[in-house]
Amino acid sequence: MAAVNTTGNKALIPFSSRLREGRALAEDVWSIFNAANLPADCLNLGQGYMNFPPPSWVRQAAEEALARTDTNHYSHPKGRLRLRNAIRDFYGPSFNREVDPDTEILVTSGANEGQYSVFTAFLEQGDEVILFEPFFDQYLPSVTFNGGVPVYVPLHPPKTDAHKSTSGDWTIDLDELRRAITSRTKMIIVNTPHNPVGKVFTRAELEGIAALAQEFNLLVMSDEVYDILTFEDKEHVRIATLPGMWDRTVTVQSAGKAFAATGWRVGWLIGPESIIRPTLAATTRIVFCSNSPLQEAVAQGLEQVKEKQFFETQRAEYEERRDILISAFEKLGVKYTVPDGSYFALMDVSTIDIPDDYAFPQSVLGRGRDFRACWFIALEVGVSTIPVSEFYCEEHASIGESYARFAFCKDVDTLKRAGERLQALKKYVKA
Ligand SMILES: Cc1ncc(COP(=O)(O)O)c(C=O)c1O
């Protein structure tokens, strides 16, 4: 019998049943809220990429690398030595140790591929991986494609009637986390600063997670791709630096976030040789190596950030962008979460009164109310955002249905214009 392909037509060759898991075949939120489906003048605060280029001196380094011969060819699967040395020099001190660029750093094709390779290297069929919800959606298929079983532990939204809460008001329940651990649990994914909540996990929270990881012998994948973005001097704690945690933690970082270069696909992992070596074996057989010229450019970028005080300046710029957005939420009179880190802010859309007879496309009908709210906002006022129920499992999706995620990795002018446009929602905000 011929198989049925993704479009429902008969296919000669059946695709792998793997694609039926991890929502790989479902129409993803990025496609639904894609610019192509929205009004042409819609301001895109949806997908988390910048509407400005990487800094000129990093672009210049990329051009120079493209003009050389060696940097246009395969790099060592571990990553270019210059980049691994630059990572050691810049980030090593924040791990309170001399990180060995030969055995403890692995350059990957973005954070995504690094995470995928860790799953390939460590998961046996049926191993459980704990994810805090809301979670970065890519984790799910990356886990299931590698035979893992996701287990969900929700972050609990602020229990307050106040309009303004902070991302720190989203809390974890360590007893709930303990209850989620079984004899099949292999790994916990921590994401701090967090996408989409903007939460920066406190030292005490990370100590609680670390204690459980040690008690049950779990690997911790610490996704810290937004570690350069914490606001108001909020302390970013690396779980790898807590006592006893280096040996069981792999830290994930991304040049895409650090240098406004999400399309460059350069990221890296830092961890003990016992985690990096098997992951190197996996990444070598998945991509062999990451793209060479842009690794070289990122190396030059990291070599210069200190002298140029680039991350300090960038952080201040993002704080200004965040404040423009949240002051628009405040003026509009909706509930919202002020993020302590990352470049996302959540608006509570549960008080937006969506007209019953509004014409929605099929793609958002049958999904959470937040899908309809985000569609309505995009069409009514021309600002696109992302519905947060997409970052939850089906069982917990109702928690996310109250929120829309706004990405503020956009220039000040765009954010100001978006803030002004949002005020047109006032007549729909329920008291
Ligand atoms: C939490 C989180 N982890 C990982 C990634 C992926 O990073 P990269 O673009 O380097 O693959 C993202 C991108 O949005 C993210 O938000």
Q: What is the pLDDT of residues 291-307, one digit of tens each?
A: 999 999 999 999 999 99
Q: How high is the mean pLDDT of the chain?
A: 94
CA of 142 to the centre of ligand 1 (A): 13
pLDDT band at 326 (very low <50, low <70, confident <90, very high): very high
Which of 136, 259, 290 to mutate for ligand 1's pocket (most ligand atoms within 8 Å of CB)?
136
Residue 26 exposed, middle or buried by CB count within 10 Å (0-12, 13-18, 19+): exposed
Between CA 280 and CA 341 the distance in angstroms is 30
Identify whether residues 126 and 218 lie together within a single domain: yes
Q: What is the pLDDT of residue 246?
A: 98
Identify whether residues 256 and 329 lie together within a single domain: no
Q: What is the pLDDT of residue 399?
A: 92
Identify whether residues 214 and 341 lie together within a single domain: no
Q: Does the pLDDT of residue 340 top 60, yes or no?
A: yes
Q: What is the pLDDT of residue 66?
A: 98
Q: Average pLDDT of 369-378?
A: 95
CA of 331 to the centre of ligand 1 (A): 31
Please indicate, yes or no, if residue 111 is contained in any of the structural domains.
yes
Neighbours of 366 (CB within 10 A): 8
Q: Does the pLDDT of residue 411 top 50, yes or no?
A: yes
CA of 389 to the centre of ligand 1 (A): 18
Q: What is the pLDDT of residue 124?
A: 98
Please indicate, yes or no, if residue 124 is contained in any of the structural domains.
yes
Q: Of the ranges 190-199, 362-371, 396-405, which one carries the lowest mean pLDDT score?
A: 362-371
Which tokens go with 343? 């470049």
pLDDT of 115-148, one tens digit each? 999 999 999 999 999 999 999 999 999 999 999 9
Q: Average pLDDT of 175-181?
A: 98
**Ligand 1 atom showing the smallest separation from residue 112 Cα:** 11
CA of 351 to the centre of ligand 1 (A): 30
CA of 257 to the centre of ligand 1 (A): 8
Identify whether residues 134 and 259 lie together within a single domain: yes
Which of 131, 189, 225 to mutate for ligand 1's pocket (most ligand atoms within 8 Å of CB)?
225
Q: What is the pLDDT of residue 20?
A: 85
Identify whether residues 370 and 222 lie together within a single domain: no
Q: Does the pLDDT of residue 265 top 60, yes or no?
A: yes
Q: Does the pLDDT of residue 23 top 90, yes or no?
A: no
Q: Which of 307, 338, 364 is the last residue of a domain?
A: 307
Identify whether residues 108 and 155 lie together within a single domain: yes
Ligand 1 interacting residues, C-beta cut-off 6 A: 48, 110-112, 136, 191, 195, 223, 225, 254, 256, 262, 267
The range of the structural domain enclosing residue 173 comes to 74-307
Q: Average pLDDT of 331-357?
A: 95
CATH number for the domain spanning 370: value is 3.90.1150.10
Q: What is the pLDDT of residue 2?
A: 43
Identify whether residues 33 and 89 lie together within a single domain: no
Q: Of the ranges 3-12, 128-137, 405-414, which one carries the lowest mean pLDDT score?
A: 3-12
CA of 112 to the centre of ligand 1 (A): 6
Identify whether residues 273 and 360 lie together within a single domain: no
**Ligand 1 atom showing the smallest separation from residue 255 Cα:** 10
Please indicate, yes or no, if residue 64 is contained in any of the structural domains.
no
pLDDT of 31-71, one tens digit each? 888 877 888 899 999 989 999 999 999 999 999 999 999 99
Identify whether residues 85 and 117 lie together within a single domain: yes
Please indicate, yes or no, if residue 2 is contained in any of the structural domains.
no
Sheet holding 219-223, edge to edge: 105-108, 267-270, 249-254, 219-223, 185-191, 128-133, 149-154
Q: Average pLDDT of 266-280?
A: 98
CA of 321 to the centre of ligand 1 (A): 20
pLDDT of 242-254, one tens digit each? 999 999 999 999 9
Q: Are strands 386-387 and 403-407 parallel, antiparallel or unpaired?
A: antiparallel
Between CA 366 and CA 371 the distance in angstroms is 9
Which of 29, 195, 222 to mutate for ligand 1's pocket (most ligand atoms within 8 Å of CB)?
195
Residue at token pair 């021309």? 382
Please indicate, yes or no, if residue 65 is contained in any of the structural domains.
no
Which of 119, 254, 343 to mutate for ligand 1's pocket (most ligand atoms within 8 Å of CB)?
254
Please indicate, yes or no, if residue 343 is contained in any of the structural domains.
yes
Q: Whose CA is nearest to atom 7 of ligand 1?
A: 111
The proportion of the chain whose per-residue pLDDT surpasses 90, expressed as a percent, equals 86
Between CA 9 and CA 290 the distance in angstroms is 36
Q: Of the ranges 35-44, 80-89, 177-186, 305-314, which one carries the lowest mean pLDDT score?
A: 35-44
Q: Whose CA is nearest to atom 16 of ligand 1?
A: 195
CATH number for the domain spanning 174: value is 3.40.640.10
Q: Does the pLDDT of residue 7 top 70, yes or no?
A: no
Please indicate, yes or no, if residue 29 is contained in any of the structural domains.
yes
Q: What is the pLDDT of residue 1?
A: 38
The proportion of the chain whose per-residue pLDDT surpasses 70, expressed as a percent, equals 98
**Torsion sign, CA atoms 260, 325, 203, 119:** negative
CA of 225 to the centre of ligand 1 (A): 6
Short-list 219, 221, 255, 257, CA closest to 238: 221
pLDDT band at 273 (very low <50, low <70, confident <90, very high): very high
**Ligand 1 atom showing the smallest separation from residue 114 Cα:** 11
Q: Average pLDDT of 381-403?
A: 94
Q: What is the pLDDT of residue 253?
A: 98
Please indicate, yes or no, if residue 3 is contained in any of the structural domains.
no
Identify whether residues 159 and 301 lie together within a single domain: yes
Which of 108, 133, 138, 405 to mutate for ligand 1's pocket (most ligand atoms within 8 Å of CB)?
138
Q: Which of 307, 339, 357 is the last residue of a domain?
A: 307
Q: Average pLDDT of 329-354?
A: 96
pLDDT band at 5 (very low <50, low <70, confident <90, very high): low
Identify whether residues 362 and 302 lie together within a single domain: no
CA of 166 to the centre of ligand 1 (A): 22
Number of domains comprising the chain: 2
CA of 36 to the centre of ligand 1 (A): 23
CA of 111 to the centre of ligand 1 (A): 6
Short-list 272, 265, 266, 198, CA closest to 230: 198
Identify whether residues 300 and 329 lie together within a single domain: no
Contact residues for 270 (Cβ-Cβ < 8 A; gap 6+): 87, 91, 95, 99, 104, 105, 240, 250, 251, 253
Give the global pTM: 0.95
Q: Which of 252, 276, 307 is the last residue of a domain?
A: 307
Q: Whose CA is nearest to atom 14 of ligand 1?
A: 48
pLDDT of 139-172, one tens digit each? 999 999 999 999 999 999 998 778 899 999 999 9
pLDDT band at 6 (very low <50, low <70, confident <90, very high): low
Between CA 257 and CA 292 the distance in angstroms is 18
My answer on whether omega of the bond before 196 falls inside 30° of 0, hence cis, is yes
